[in-house]
Chain A
Amino acid sequence: VIWMTQSPSLLSASTGDRVTITCRMSQVISNYLAWYQQKPGKAPELLIYSASTLQSGVPSRFSGSGSGTDFTLTINSLQSEDFGTYYCQQYYSFPWTFGQGTKVEIK
C-alpha cells in the first residue's frame, strides 16, 4: 500500500493569496498523481492529472508540480469560489489511495 501524507489539513487564506498544498508518498510513483476539489455536498472534481496536467475547463490559476514522492498543488490568486476540500490521489498502483484532504477556507 502506498501511504500519502497531505498537508496542511486546514488552510485559511485571503482572496488573492497564493496557496500551496503538498502531498508526500511513501514510495516513488513517478507522476501518477491527481488532484481533486470537493465542495460540501458535491462530488469531487478533477483538477490535475499526471501531476501537472490541467484538466480541461479548470482555471489556469491552479497548477501542479512534482514527481517521485513529493507533489504540490498551487492556487495562484485564490478566489472566493476556491473554497472546499482538496485531495491528492495516486493511481500508480492498487489499492489507489487518497491523501487525507486539505480544507481551504477563505478569510
Chain B
Amino acid sequence: QVQLVESGGGLVKPGGSLRLSCAASGFIFSDSYMSWVRQAPGKGLEWVSYISASGSTIYYADSVKGRVTISRDNAKNSLYLQMNGLRAEDTAVYYCAKCSEQTTVTFGRYSYYYYMDVWGKGTAVTVSS
C-alpha cells in the first residue's frame, strides 16, 4: 500500500538548520508530484512547498521562500525539505504528501492540476532556544 514516512524532525535553536526526509513506498515515486504541508501546534494546515515528478517545477509559500529548499531523489524514492534560518514560527508538524493528477479538457486543450491524496504521519520540528 502507499506509504509515506517522514523523519528528521527535532529540536533546533533559532537560526539553525534541519533536513526533513520522506521515504515513499507502494507507488511509482518517480512519476509522482509531491508536497510538504505543516501544522503549527493548535493551528490549521499551511502548505509549504511543491515539486514536480522530475523536480523541474518547484513552488514555495512566501513564509518559507529563501530559507527552505525542496528536493527529491527518485532513485531513492525520497523527498527532502532542507530548512535553514529556522524561526520560532516554523515550529510545526511537517507532513509530506503525494499528489495525484486531475485532468481537465477545455476546447481540446489539456490542463493538469494536482491534489494531495496521501499524507504521511508527520515529523515534529521545534524551534526554541
- Give A residues with C-beta under 8 Å from B: 30, 32, 34, 36, 38, 42-46, 49-50, 55, 87, 89, 91-92, 94-101
Interface of B is mostly: strand
State the interface size on chain B (CB cutoff 8 A): 24
Give, as a whole number of angstroms, the nearest-CB distance from A98 to chain B.
5
A95→B102 CA distance, assembly (Å): 18
**At the interface, yes or no: B88 with Cβ under 8 Å from chain A?**
no
5 smallest CB-CB distances across A and B, nearest first, come from: A96-B47, A43-B119, A94-B59, A98-B45, A49-B115
A45→B122 CA distance, assembly (Å): 13
Q: Which of B43-62 contact A (CB under 8 A)?
A: 44-47, 50, 59, 61-62
> Which of B45, B50, B62, B118 contacts A89 (CB under 8 A)?
B45
> Which of B44, B47, B61, B95 contacts A100 (CB under 8 A)?
B44
